[in-house]
Amino acid sequence: MTQQEDVVLVGVDGSPASLHALDWAVGHARTHGFGLHLVCAYSVPSFTAAALDGGYAAIDDTAIQEGARAALDEAVGRVGGAVRTTAAVATGDAAAVLVELSRGAATVVVGTRGRGGFAERLLGTVSSALPAHAHCPTVVVPHRGGEDAESIEPVRPVRRMVVGVDGSPAAEAALARAIHEAEVWDAELTAVAGVPVGSGSGILAWLPAAVDHEAVLRDVAEGLDVVVDRALADHPGVQVRRHVLDGTGAALLTEFSTAVDLVVVGSRGRGGFAGLLLGSTSQAVLHHSVCPVMVVTTKADDGWDPTAVGR
């Protein structure tokens, strides 16, 4: 069984969004007894400018590298001595760099805005490769403030959590992680299953009239209890509230994000081209959540031993 390092990997770029994510990562690392590894990644354009003589002018990346180091130094200074910290500047696409480094991390944390296309990388078509391909859970921390240092809002400790459960292996992996996080943070955890039953739409609208819709909802609730009780077998001290609600998983989790401190969602994280895109639920939650979102894939869960990391 693979033992992941007790390190939280954090992507920084000097923006208020990445510094806000860093603040969240510090709290996460302190609570788990982890260290931090800060990375500022930059890429040099793959093309060069044509020179007058028909040749090509080399692009000097010295200024870019100095900017990356300055952003990294600011981040290290912000952490201070709160937790043990290492830092490095890396060249290459930010998402690709973080995916590779996630092999030796317990969690990777990033913000949703930033300079140099971090926002597009994380929440656009290409950048969903990070949570989809990371070898550990990815936490995306939204920043709703402006683009100046004074706009960095204070982070909140994780006291209330919600996890989406739909019976899939990815959702079960997310549930296991959510239970572990709730245990470490001593947080309240709610498991939510969404069944769209609205009139004229939703899966139940396609069922024959003779089918008892309430019975369907009861069956889903019973199934949710089975899945949650099984996941709690080795965690007798954790209490999980369960709700089966009208609506899609994405809409419900987004709504819950206004009232909790962490949303946990599963995604298949498949390889190849399909893996470049997260599932519709996890992608939608990442785009619209008000609070941090932890994306857990079956790939990230493979070989995870909760007794091998933590306090």
My answer on whether 143 and 173 are in the same domain is no
Phi, psi values for residue 158, rounded to 5°: -80, 105
DSSP for 249-278, please give it. Answer: HHHHHHHHTTT-SEEEEEE---STGGGGS-
Is 183 contained in some domain?
Answer: yes
Question: Which of 133, 155, 177 is the C-terminal boundary of a domain?
Answer: 155
My answer on whether 180 and 268 are in the same domain is yes
Specify the pairing of strand 7-11 against strand 35-42.
Answer: parallel
Of 281, 272, 264, the C-alpha closest to 107 is 264
Q: Are 187 and 194 in contact (CB under 8 A)?
A: no
- Structure tokens, 68: 């990356």
Count of all residues that appear for the chain in the document: 311
Cα 34–chain centre separation? 17
**Per-residue pLDDT tens over the stretch 196-252:** 776 445 555 555 555 566 777 888 899 999 999 999 999 988 999 999 988 888 899
Is 191 contained in some domain?
Answer: yes
Q: Are 223 and 165 in contact (CB under 8 A)?
A: no
Count: domains in the chain: 2
* pLDDT of 303: 61
Whole-model pTM: value is 0.85
My answer on whether 221 and 304 are in the same domain is yes
My answer on whether 146 and 281 are in the same domain is no
C-alpha to C-alpha distance for 205 and 307, rounded to whole angstroms: 45
My answer on whether 71 and 23 are in the same domain is yes
My answer on whether 129 and 18 are in the same domain is yes
Question: Which of 117, 138, 155 is the C-terminal boundary of a domain?
Answer: 155
My answer on whether 188 and 98 are in the same domain is no
DSSP 3-state assignment of 77? helix
My answer on whether 184 and 259 are in the same domain is yes
Of 111, 81, 158, the C-alpha closest to 13 is 111
Residue bearing tokens 């997260």: 278
CATH number of the domain encompassing residue 230:
3.40.50.620
- Structure tokens, 268: 């298949």
Is 233 contained in some domain?
Answer: yes
My answer on whether 217 and 117 are in the same domain is no
Is 244 contained in some domain?
Answer: yes
Q: How many Å is the maximal CA-CA distance in the chain?
A: 80
My answer on whether 179 and 169 are in the same domain is yes
Question: Which of 120, 155, 190 is the C-terminal boundary of a domain?
Answer: 155
C-alpha to C-alpha distance for 259 and 252, rounded to whole angstroms: 12
Is 190 contained in some domain?
Answer: yes
Is 304 contained in some domain?
Answer: yes
Cα 284–chain centre separation? 12
Count other Cβ atoms within 10 Å, centred on residue 204.
Answer: 17
My answer on whether 198 and 258 are in the same domain is yes
DSSP 3-state assignment of 263? strand
* pLDDT of 229: 96
Q: Are 73 and 40 in contact (CB under 8 A)?
A: no
* pLDDT of 58: 56
* pLDDT of 181: 97
* pLDDT of 287: 83
Crossing angle of helices 169-185 and 16-32, in 10° steps, is 70
Is 188 contained in some domain?
Answer: yes
Is 54 contained in some domain?
Answer: no
Residue 218: which domain range?
156-311
Predicted confidence pLDDT, tens digits, the chain (311 residues): 244 689 999 999 888 888 999 999 999 999 999 999 999 988 776 554 444 455 555 566 788 888 889 999 999 999 998 899 999 999 888 888 999 999 999 999 998 764 444 444 444 433 456 788 889 999 999 887 766 666 788 899 999 999 999 888 889 999 999 999 999 999 999 999 988 776 445 555 555 555 566 777 888 899 999 999 999 999 988 999 999 988 888 899 999 999 999 999 998 644 433 344 456 788 788 888 999 999 998 776 666 666 654 44
My answer on whether 145 and 2 are in the same domain is yes
